[in-house]
Every structure is written in structure tokens, then in C-alpha cells.
């Protein structure tokens, strides 16, 4: 008996992937382009800091709005509108330079809003467009696009800067947002019962009607916002609350998100601050800085290629153990006298982060009902990456006050303990919520 071939991803997914890649390239290119402007003395470092801060704030604002709109409306339309908003705002930003002013700051804010609004919609569209058996490959492809964007965006900007001005580069990055807006195919929305806990009533029992009602309620298409009463703000608040309640129903998700937040807020933030300083002070240059960033991306690409095909048993435990592997990076920065060990730790961390990312995204798409998946994904992005600026703000003065070694050792311990502690939650083993069954007889 032959094993059936896995479902193909198809042309619709390829268009979604290309859109996500285009958005990723311009997302990573813009900070680099603005940094080139500082290096070329086209505008000041203060302008760079204010514009990037405004874009980050816009991202945090846009993510929950994008999650609600993607669950309550057409997800492809959300991607299109978010891309157009980011493209127009980027054009306004380019026109405001070199002084920027309030117009530039507001434009950067709306670039971030467009970027943030599209993220949960992309995640939800994978659930819509891809067969469940192919979603792990699809999510691996999506995360590969992110890693490619990290390399291609700044590299392309650096090459283009040799022949065109910094302001023109800003405008070109806006054209990539337009490309991201037009590429996806119209949403093929599905209503699936795969993410709904199985409710098995006893034959002839009094609970059978209630169980049937609960199942219908869970799998029903979400009620359009236009049919509900109340102010737009009240409706938005209700939708956010509904998404949060769904997230809290999955203990593996809430515990895992807590651990991920610790790793990003303490691990990523501490190493982002410490690596440039250690590269300069301990190894007399920027070589270790460049090697570490490149090694992390290379490791992540290899990890994504592996997890695209490998479906381990106890996938949740593998994922959380891999997330804990990021502790090697602050540990090596704190203790290693050798640059090779630091670079090796970045390779391992990059590889392992994709062994976490891909099963995590796949589990969210499997376990969360279609009408709520974008809001749960937005909560994921908002909590994990929204806390990163707080980590940067706290750890930079901490390193200056206590020195890099004790701060890095503390962060390494936190990055190890938090994911391992999540494994004590039974549902973390497979990233799967326990099924609810009625007793028989």
C-alpha cells in the first residue's frame, strides 16, 4: 500500500507567499534605507529614531485592528488595504524628507499601521488557502520568506544606494507595498470543524441538544459587525475580548506565548544591545556582529527547510525545547572568549527558532476556529513583539549600570527556564487543547 502524496500548495498559496515576501522585503529595507540616509548625512540620527519609533507604534496599533477586520471581513481585502495604506504613507514619508516634521512622523506611523494590519491576515489566509496536511510546509515557506527578506531587503538597498538617492529608495520601498497589495488571490474562506473540540453526547441524554447547540455555535460563520448593535468602539472591544477569550481557552497557547515573550523581551533585547558592544570591545571590530547576524539567518533557513518535511512526535515539546535553545546566545556572549563559539550559538539559535515557529503557527491554525484565528494571531504578535521595546528600554541602562556579563547570564537563565516550565502544562506536548467529551450512559 503506497503512501498518498501530500497535498500541493498550489498557485493561490504561491501568490500569498509572494505578497508576504514583498511586504517583508520592504519592511526590512526601510530602516536600512533611513539608516543610509544618516550615514550619507541626508538627514539626522534624531529623524531616524523618531521615524522608526513612530513606525513601531503604528505596528502595535495596526495588529489588533487587522486581526478584527480579518476575522469579520474579507481577509484578502485587509491585505490589499493594508498594503495600499503602507504604500501611500511611504510616498508621503519620502516627500517629507529630509526634515520629516510632523507629516513625516504621521506618515511613518501609518506605514506601521499597514504593516501591522496585514500580519494576522496573512496567518489567517494560510488557514483558508492550504489543506491541513500541507500547512506545516506552507508555514515553513512563509518563514523562509521572512529570512530571505532579512537578507535581500538591506542588501538590495545597499546596492541601489550606489546609483540612486536615499529619498528615491524610500519611494521604491513603497512600490513593494503596492506589489504586496495586488498579488494575493481573492479569499477562499472556509468554515472548518477541525479546530473545534469534539462534543460527544450520550445517546438520548438531556445534554445532546445542548452539545449540538454548542458545536453549531463554535462552527458558525461570525456575525458581521454591521448586524450588531453598539458603537464601533464597543463592537471593536467586544471582538478583541472574544479573541482573548478564545486564546485563554488554549492553555498551551497562553503558556507558550508567555515563554516566547520572555525570550523576545529578555533574550533578543539583551543580545541586540550586547552583541555590538562585545564585538567592538572584546574583538576589536564589527566582524563578530556581522557574522552573528548572518549565522542566525543561515541557521534559521536550514531549520525551516527541515521542519517543512519533519513532523516530530511530541511536536510541542520539541518546539519549546528549541525555543529554550536561544539561551545559548546570551550565555556565549557572557562567557565565551572565542568568536567562533558565539557565531556557533547564533547558528544553533537560528536553526532552533524555526523548529519552534513553524509548529507554533501550524497549531494555531489547527486549533483555533476560522472565525477567530486572525484575532488570536494578532494577540500573539502584539504580546510577544509589543514587549520588545520595553526590554530594550530596560536592558540598555541595566547593562550600562551592572555590566554586560551579569545581565546576559540572568537573561540566559530566563530564556532557558521559561520554555522548559511550559512543558509542565500537559497540552503543550502536542500544542493541542484537550477535547471535551460528555460521559456515555
Note whether residue 384 is domain-resident: yes
Of 165, 182, 199, the domain-final residue? 182
What band does 202 get if pLDDT is binned at 50, 70 and 90?
very low
pLDDT-based confidence at residue 153 (cuts at 50, 70, 90): confident
Residues 300 and 405 occupy one common structural domain: yes
Residues of the chain above pLDDT 90, percent: 61
Does residue 87 surpass a pLDDT of 90?
A: yes
Pairwise CA distance, residues 68 & 361, whole Å: 18
Where is pLDDT greater, at 48 or 122?
122
Indicate the number of domains in the chain.
2
Domain assignment of residue 225, yes or no = no
If asked whether residues 292 and 162 sit together in one domain, one would say no
- pLDDT value at 200 more than 50: no
Could you tell me if 120 and 261 lie in one domain?
A: no
Q: Do both 17 and 145 map to the same domain?
A: yes
pLDDT at 376 over 70: yes
Same domain for 163 and 292, yes or no, is: no
Ranges 57-71, 145-159, 226-240, 399-413: which has the least confidence: 226-240
Average pLDDT (247-267) is 95
Which among 132, 163, 182 is the end of a domain?
182
Say if residue 178 is in the same domain as residue 248. no
Q: Are residues 167 and 257 in the same domain?
A: no
Band (4; pLDDT cuts 50, 70, 90): low
pLDDT, position 379? 93
pLDDT of residue 111: 97
Most confident range (mean pLDDT) of 42-46, 158-162, 426-430 is 426-430
Per-residue pLDDT, 137: 95
Is 208 contained in some domain? no
Whether 287 and 396 map to the same domain: the answer is yes
In a domain, 391, yes or no: yes
210 or 61: which carries more pLDDT confidence?
61
Domain-embedded: residue 198 = no
Looking at the structure, do residues 423 and 298 belong to the same domain, yes or no?
Answer: yes
Residue 231, domain member (yes or no): no
- Residue 266: predicted pLDDT: 94
| Residue 435 CB contacts under 8 Å (≥ 6 apart), including other chains | 197, 198
Query: For 412-424, what is each residue's pLDDT tens digit?
Result: 999 999 999 999 9
Structural domain ending residue among the three candidates 129, 153, 182: 182
Q: Is residue 261 part of a domain?
A: yes
pLDDT of 203: 39
Shared domain for 256 and 402, answered yes or no, is yes
pTM to 2 decimals? 0.85
Burial class (CB in 10 A: 0-12, 13-18, 19+), 290: exposed
* pLDDT for the residue 3: 55
Ranges 55-69, 219-233, 341-355, 414-428: which has the least confidence:
219-233
Higher pLDDT residue, 132 or 228?
A: 132
Closest CA to 281 of 219, 360, 337, 202: 337
CATH of the domain at 395: 1.20.1250.20
At 263-290, the pLDDT tens digits run 999 999 899 888 988 998 899 888 898 8
Structural domain range at position 303: 244-428
Non-local CB neighbours of 108 within 8 Å, separated by 6+ positions = 50, 51, 52, 54, 55, 58, 89, 93, 100
Is residue 220 in some structural domain?
no
At residue 189, the pLDDT reads 52
- Are both 254 and 109 inside the same structural domain? no
List of residues 6+ apart from 380 with CB closer than 8 A: 253, 257, 364
Based on the fold, state whether residues 145 and 254 are members of the same structural domain: no
Taking only the tens place, the pLDDT of each residue in 310-329 is: 999 999 999 999 999 999 99
Amino acid at each position: 500500500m503506497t503512501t498518498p502524496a501530500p497535498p500541493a500548495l498550489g498557485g493561490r498559496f504561491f501568490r500569498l507567499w509572494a505578497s508576504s515576501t514583498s511586504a517583508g522585503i520592504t519592511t526590512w529595507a526601510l530602516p536600512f534605507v533611513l539608516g543610509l540616509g544618516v550615514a550619507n548625512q541626508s538627514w539626522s540620527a534624531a529623524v531616524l529614531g523618531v521615524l522608526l519609533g513612530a513606525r513601531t507604534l503604528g505596528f502595535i496599533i495596526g495588529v489588533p485592528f487587522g486581526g478584527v477586520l480579518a476575522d469579520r471581513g474579507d481577509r484578502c481585502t485587509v491585505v490589499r488595504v493594508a498594503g495600499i495604506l503602507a504604500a501611500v504613507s511611504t510616498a508621503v514619508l519620502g516627500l517629507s524628507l529630509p526634515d520629516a516634521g510632523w507629516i513625516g512622523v504621521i506618515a511613518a506611523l501609518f506605514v506601521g499601521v499597514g504593516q501591522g494590519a496585514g500580519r494576522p491576515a496573512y496567518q489567517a489566509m494560510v488557514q483558508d488557502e492550504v489543506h491541513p496536511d500541507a500547512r506545516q510546509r506552507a508555514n515553513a515557506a512563509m518563514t523562509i520568506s521572512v529570512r530571505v527578506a532579512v537578507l535581500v531587503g538591506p542588501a538590495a538597498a545597499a546596492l541601489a544606494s550606489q546609483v540612486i538617492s536615499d529619498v528615491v529608495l524610500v519611494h521604491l520601498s513603497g512600490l513593494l507595498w503596492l506589489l504586496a497589495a495586488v498579488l494575493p488571490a481573492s479569499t477562499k474562506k472556509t468554515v472548518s470543524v477541525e479546530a473545534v473540540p469534539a462534543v460527544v453526547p450520550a445517546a438520548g441524554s438531556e445534554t445532546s441538544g445542548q452539545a449540538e447547540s454548542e458545536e453549531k455555535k463554535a462552527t458558525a460563520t461570525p456575525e458581521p459587525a454591521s448586524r450588531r448593535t453598539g458603537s464601533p468602539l464597543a463592537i471593536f472591544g467586544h471582538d478583541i475580548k472574544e479573541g482573548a477569550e478564545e486564546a485563554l481557552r488554549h492553555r498551551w497557547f497562553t503558556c507558550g506565548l508567555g515563554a516566547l515573550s520572555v525570550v523576545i523581551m529578555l533574550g533578543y533585547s539583551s543580545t541586540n544591545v550586547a552583541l555590538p558592544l562585545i564585538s567592538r570591545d572584546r574583538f576589536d571590530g564589527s566582524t563578530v556582529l556581522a557574522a552573528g547576524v548572518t549565522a542566525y539567518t543561515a541557521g534559521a533557513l536550514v531549520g525551516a527547510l527541515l521542519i517543512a518535511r519533519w513532523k516530530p512526535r511530541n511536536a510541542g515539546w520539541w518546539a519549546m525545547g528549541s525555543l529554550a535553545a536561544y539561551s545559548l546566545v546570551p550565555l556565549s556572549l557572557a562567557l565565551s572568549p572565542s568568536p567562533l563559539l558565539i557565531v556557533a550559538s547564533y547558528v544553533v539559535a537560528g536553526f532552533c527558532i524555526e523548529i519552534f515557529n513553524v509548529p507554533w503557527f501550524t497549531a494555531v491554525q489547527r486549533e483555533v476556529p476560522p472565525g477567530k484565528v486572525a484575532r488570536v494571531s494578532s494577540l500573539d504578535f502584539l504580546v510577544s513583539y509589543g514587549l520588545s521595546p520595553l526590554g530594550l528600554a530596560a536592558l540598555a541602562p541595566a547593562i550600562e549600570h551592572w555590566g554586560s556579563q551579569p545581565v546576559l547570564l540572568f537573561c540566559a537563565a530566563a530564556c532557558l527556564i521559561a520554555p522548559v516550565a511550559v512543558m509542565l502544562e500537559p497540552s503543550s506536548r502536542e500544542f493541542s487543547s484537550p477535547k471535551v467529551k460528555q460521559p456515555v450512559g
